[in-house]
Structure 1
Amino acid sequence: MKLHADPSDVQMVTAYGPGWITINKQEHKGNLLVGSTGFLRPWNCANFESLTAEHFAELAQLNAELIIFGSGSKLRFVHPSWLQPLMQKRIGLETMDTHAACRTYNVLAGEGRIVIAALMLE
């Protein structure tokens, strides 16, 4: 009996470490947006301190069910007002450290959810 979705057709995080992440066995450096439907691109922000409301407005345009925000090596939250564009579109956002975000993204993507991980790498 098969209990889990087959992630072979889904973009998955296959490894991560300080300053790098591997998506489907391809290494990337720098902050990254990765989606279960094949969406993958650099996230144009230098570090957590350089994030602005516009970065989260950009996420709202991606039309995911859920955004997993990996805030770096430790759990950090952005100003709640920055999340208004997501709330207006009824897109959930979960904040966690980046390693937890990678694991959570894989579980949700493997279940067939339309999820995007916004990952801060340090």
Structure 2
Amino acid sequence: MAVRQRAVAALPTLLRALRKEGISKQNQPLPSLRRAFSLYDQINLIDNVPEDQLRFQEFDDTGFKVNGVRYEGSLLCVGNLLMSWTPKKFSEITTESLSIFQTVRPIPEILILGCGRNIQPIDPQLRSFIRSTGMKLEAVDSRNAASTYNVLNEEGRIVAAALLPYGVTS
């Protein structure tokens, strides 16, 4: 009880001190944002990627640039593993060309299929095969597939990409 009485007695003194502090702070100028912007400008999140993490940096009609290295032709990425991939056109993408996903562990959450320049309809048998592995399928053009892979991989998600060069049209 005595503790409570002392706390109640000290309350007016505490309120006066807080009011004084509040009045003095109102007259102070706002802090400069110049320092915040200069520090922010020095941070480049796009190039600040761990060395062991794959990052698509460029693409063209015949291949991709990944982590500073130029690759010709189709690529298959699982997590941070990069492989050359045999299909040269969309019609060559089969369950056999994606059979690696029957053995890869852990199973990626999603397979991003880069169809080349244009999005193509996915064969129902291929779609069924991908679902049977436990993955979801996202079929987009190769430019967006590479970008989506970068974002999901940077988030630390287990993701796979099967990419045809952007120049492939069918």
Instruction: Provide TM-score, normalisation by structure 1.
Output: 0.85
Aligned to 2:74: 31
Which segments of 5 or more consecutive residues in structure 1 lack a partner in the other structure?
A: none
Q: Which has the higher strand share?
A: 1
Hey, what's the Cα distance between the residues in 1 that align with 2:103 and 2:112?
15
Hey, what's the Cα distance between the residues in 1 that align with 2:103 and 2:117?
26
Shift, 1:18, TM fit? 1.3
Residues 58 and 50 of structure 1, relative CA distance in 2, 3 Å threshold: same
Tell me, yes or no, if the aligned pair for 1:70 and 1:97 is still in contact at 8 Å.
Answer: yes
What is the aligned-residue RMSD (CA, Å)?
Answer: 1.8
Equivalences for residues 20-59 of structure 1 within 5 A: 20-36=63-79, 38-59=80-101
More deviation in 92-101 or 27-36? 27-36
- Cα displacement string for residues 44-87 of structure 1 (whole angstroms, at most 9, x for unaligned residues): 11211222232233334332121110000111122021122321
2:160 alignment partner, one of 113, 116, 122: 116
Structure number with bigger Rg: 2
For these two proteins, the number of residue pairs brought into alignment is 117
Tell me, yes or no, if the aligned pair for 1:33 and 1:117 is still in contact at 8 Å.
Answer: yes
Which segments of 5 or more consecutive residues in structure 2 lack a partner in the other structure?
A: 1-44
Q: Which has the higher helix share?
A: 2
1:75 alignment partner, one of 115, 119, 142: 119
Residues 120 and 69 of structure 1, relative CA distance in 2, 3 Å threshold: same
Q: What is the identity percentage for the equivalent residue pairs of Structure 1 and Structure 2? A: 27
Instruction: Report 1 or 2 for greater relative contact order, CA contacts < 8 Å, sequence distance ≥ 6.
Output: 1
- Is 1:92 the counterpart of 2:161 in the alignment? no
Hey, what's the Cα distance between the residues in 2 that align with 1:104 and 1:52?
22
Tell me, yes or no, if the aligned pair for 1:45 and 1:51 is still in contact at 8 Å.
Answer: yes
Instruction: Provide TM-score, normalisation by structure 2.
Output: 0.62
